Structure formats: C-alpha cells, structure tokens
Amino acid sequence: MTCNFKLAMTMALIAFQLSACSSGGGSESAGLPQEMSSQTISSGTITDFGSIFVNGIEFELNDAEITINDNNGTENQLQLGMQVIVEAEVNDDRTTGNASSVRYDLDIEGPISAITSNDGDKALVVILGANVSIDDRTVLDNFSLDTIAVDQVVEVSGFRKRDNSIQATRIEKKSDVYASGSKLEIEGHILSLNREQKQFVIGEATIDYSDADFTNLTADSIILTMFVEVKGSEFGDNNELFAKSIEREDDAPPLDDHSSLEVEGVITHFTSLNNFTVASVLVNGKHASIVNGSSADLAIDVKVEVEGIIESEELQAIRISIK
C-alpha cells in the first residue's frame, strides 16, 4: 500500500512538472527544463553598449581579451552590428555576465561590384562574388542606401546563409574607390577545387593560391567544404583574387562538452526539430521551448536564437527564439 502510494505521488509530481513546462504564452514546449551552466559562449550580434549586449546579455569587458580580425583589439573597436563570439561567466539571472574574451572576425572586405536591387529600405549587392542582403536592421557606417555605389570598398559582418550569401548585420564603408593593393578578404567554404591551376572557389569568387602563405594547412591539404579565411590585395585578368595568405578556421563557436551556448543566426540545414543547423552548429530542439512561433515555423533561412547545453558537439536546445 505504501509503495503504491509513493508511486502514485511520484507520477503525479512528474505530470505536474511536465504541465508546468508546457505553460506560458507565446511558446511551445516539448520537455523538462534543463539548467544552463554559468560558463557560457554567446555567438551573435552586438545590439547595444554598456559594456556590450549580445543575445540579450550585458557583458562587462573589464577583464576581457578582445580580438579584432586576428589582432589584439580594444573595447572602442567593437561596434553595433558586429558578429562576435563572447566567452563569459554569466550570472544566475542570465542577463549579465563578465566576459573573458570577445572575438570579431569580418566576413568580407572588398569593393562592391554590383547593386542588384535598392528600394531605399532594402538592397542586394555583390562583393567578391557574394550576394549580400541589406535590410532595415543592417547597421550602415559611413554611408547609406542613398549613397551606396559600385566600387566602394566595404567591410561586412553578418549571417551566412545556406547558399553562401550573407545577411548583413553591419557594413562599414572603408573607401569610395578600390585601389590596387587595397585589402581584400573573404571567408567561406571551398565549393570547388582545381589543384592543377591552384585555384578554388568560395561562393562565386575564384581564389588563386599559387603564391599564398598557409596557416593551419598546406596547399596539398586543401579539400572541398573546408572553411578558410583568404586575404589578398590584387585581382587577376579574369577577376580572380590572388591570395597572399590562407588560414583554415573554425566555422562554428567552440563546442566544449557541458558548456552553455547561445547562438544567433539563420537556419542553414533543416531536417526536423531534432536535427537542424544554425551558424554551423548542429541543434537538437526536441526538449526546447519555442518563443514567437512553433516548430512549424522553423525552416531554412529563418533567423533564430538558440540557447542550450553542448553534448558531444551537438547543442541540446533549451529555448529557441524565432527572430
């Protein structure tokens, strides 16, 4: 009798917990809540200052090591709209924290070769062969959609989409006209490779690596789908970019087991709620609460913010916010 009573009470408690998890306006829940670790990696957009806000958390930078495009940086170099990766100790309220490091790395820097569309609020431009989308949430620095022009050299930070295009969150004009010898840089996955000609393609950009210096790889170790950073300063007769340096890089934030991760981006691969990819991070949303929509709203190119725990290089989502 006592055992049956205890069993009944246990089952009732479980039912209550499940009911509590699924309540709340504007969200869909599919499981028990989990506890986020105070050690957190946050990958997303700088939306405000004081010190910086990323994914809704205010990070103090007093003791942070700041890296800007692979160089030591300062807090003053961090700007609205930049995509950054923050490693931090986050307080229990999950709204404030102390950053130990902040890393920013641009996506593209080069001249605008075409303006495909521009209605004053949105635009589509081509930079080093990549289609770059601009909307009313894109931070434009040193120019506007009224003054944007072909051949302006710009630096782009944003979300990489499935088709290798970029949804820009920040674009800064560096100069009005491209001059030979100016900095050119692009990151992305290698889509095709010609070892005989010593060329590969990122997006629509052809990269000539015949005279490049290599970091973390060699010319012989280049393979398809590898994510690399290419720097150069000259174009060839066929508009190929002559690489000065090529570095293999991670296309995802650190994925340490049992650490907390918050990642913002667009969905680039989607099989189901249990299997989709954001910012090159594999996500399992089986037990996540979904805010501003439901699982039916999740699809390729939908912008989301996902919070959860890393297990075996997979993000076990606790909360998915549709942006």
Q: What is the CATH number of the domain that holds 135?
A: 2.40.50.140
pLDDT higher at 257 or 11? 257
**Residue where a domain stops, chosen among 233, 248, 263:** 248
Contact present, 60 and 97 (Cβ < 8 Å): yes
pLDDT band at 36 (very low <50, low <70, confident <90, very high): confident
On whether residue 190 sits in a domain, the answer given is: yes
Mean pLDDT on 54-78: 96
User: Is residue 241 domain-shared with residue 275, that is, in the same domain?
Assistant: no
**Residue where a domain stops, chosen among 121, 149, 175:** 175
On whether residue 24 sits in a domain, the answer given is: no
On whether residue 171 sits in a domain, the answer given is: yes
Domains in the chain: how many in total?
A: 3
Q: Which residues constitute the domain of residue 219?
A: 184-248
pLDDT band at 252 (very low <50, low <70, confident <90, very high): confident
pLDDT(268) > 50: yes
On whether residue 15 sits in a domain, the answer given is: no
Question: 139 vs 122, 133, 250, CA distance in Å?
Answer: 12, 12, 25
Q: How many helices (H) and strands (E) does the chain have?
A: 1, 26
On whether residue 26 sits in a domain, the answer given is: no
pLDDT band at 164 (very low <50, low <70, confident <90, very high): confident
User: Is residue 97 domain-shared with residue 117, that is, in the same domain?
Assistant: no
271-296 pLDDT, tens digit per residue, is 999 999 999 999 999 999 999 999 99
On whether residue 265 sits in a domain, the answer given is: yes
User: Is residue 115 domain-shared with residue 101, that is, in the same domain?
Assistant: no
Contact present, 322 and 290 (Cβ < 8 Å): yes
On whether residue 3 sits in a domain, the answer given is: no
**Residue where a domain stops, chosen among 248, 263, 297:** 248
| pLDDT at residue 186 in the model | 97
Mean pLDDT of the chain: 90
| pLDDT at residue 12 in the model | 37
User: Is residue 85 domain-shared with residue 121, that is, in the same domain?
Assistant: no
User: Is residue 51 domain-shared with residue 76, that is, in the same domain?
Assistant: yes
State the Cα–Cα distance between residues 82 and 174, nearest whole angstrom. 15
- Percentage of the chain exceeding pLDDT 70: 89
pLDDT(11) > 90: no
The structure's pTM equals 0.87
User: Is residue 162 domain-shared with residue 200, that is, in the same domain?
Assistant: no
User: Is residue 123 domain-shared with residue 164, that is, in the same domain?
Assistant: yes
State the Cα–Cα distance between residues 289 and 293, nearest whole angstrom. 10
On whether residue 30 sits in a domain, the answer given is: no
User: Is residue 115 domain-shared with residue 90, that is, in the same domain?
Assistant: no
Mean pLDDT on 240-252: 95
State the Cα–Cα distance between residues 260 and 247, nearest whole angstrom. 28
pLDDT(120) > 70: yes
181-199 pLDDT, tens digit per residue, is 999 999 999 999 999 999 9
State the Cα–Cα distance between residues 140 and 197, nearest whole angstrom. 38
Contact present, 39 and 89 (Cβ < 8 Å): yes
